[in-house]
Amino acid sequence: MKHAFVFPGQGSQFAGMGKEHYDNSAFAKKLFEQANEVLGFRISDIMFAGTDEDLKQTNVTQPAVFLHSIIAYRTIESASPDMVAGHSLGEFSALVANGTLSFDDALKLVSIRASAMQKACEMNPSTMAAILGLADEKVEEICSQVQTETNEIVVPANYNCPGQLVISGSLKGIEIACEKMKAAGAKRALVLPVGGAFHSPLMAPARAELAAAIESTKFHNPTCAVYQNVVAKGVMDKDEIKQNLIDQLTGAVRWTQSVTAMVQDGAYKFTEAGPGKVLSGLISKIHKTAEVSNVS
């Protein structure tokens, strides 16, 4: 039986995150200062004293969640994952945990990714919506129908757990899709307070910028498989990992499928490292008998 370590993405941040680590751990303090230097601004100050609104800025949120996740992971004594996975942004944390990327290189890529995504959001006004209580197949069918009928972009973006799928697309496309989802029996179709259509074709400009950065970054052979969002299976080949990381920006986060694949491959224990308990809750809904814990 295997132990999987998982890492959260954007949305798990909170004001004051990481300050306790900074104040009580020389190692954590060193990593925070290292991150401040790599990023060129004091992200630690924003994490410790910034408002919720400050932390919602994509160029802050993504490196903040990544940094907190790595520090949390490294506080786990003798952490030795048999497999790793991350939700969206969390995939970069997972790749540090399994040795594919160095901390500095991953942080640089996260910063480039966040900046590129922010620019893509500004180019194409767009959003996301959470669809609750509808089968994945029905959500997929309605997204496809809206695209065909309106020529607006609407795609499944985050398969979070059974009965919870986030869709992504243009403002008009999401509005029309939400009405159709409710008419089809969704318990809720809630437009999310996000700046753009993450994990959709509208992120194509960001994908090009991130791809160039990834191709020029050194990737190492991983110590264990990473279950990547776009393929929902364990990957060990570093070139394949690179391509999947690039594809992730415009492709869906198949979290439900990834957790199912990890369980099928022997995972019985899941440890979430990073702010919040979002993934712990999702995993418990996907596989009700899994042993789930979190370290924040």
Q: What is the DSSP string of 202-226?
A: GGHHHHHHHHHHHHTS-----SSEE
Element holding 195 (H helix, E strand): none
Q: Which one from 12, 69, 88, 296 is the annotated catalytic residue?
A: 88
Active site residue 88: yes
In the block, which residue shows the tokens 């802050």?
Answer: 60
- Which DSSP state fits 251? S
Active site residue 220: no
In the block, which residue shows the tokens 């074709």?
Answer: 201
Distance CA 102, CA 93 (A): 10
| CB of 87 closer than 8 Å to CB of 9 | yes
Q: Which one from 21, 68, 199, 287 is the annotated catalytic residue?
A: 199
Amino acid at the residue 259: V
What strand order describes the sheet that includes 154-161? Answer: 154-161, 164-170, 126-132, 188-191
In a 13 Å sphere around the CA of 249, the CA atoms on its Cβ side amount to: 27
Residues with active-site annotation:
88, 199
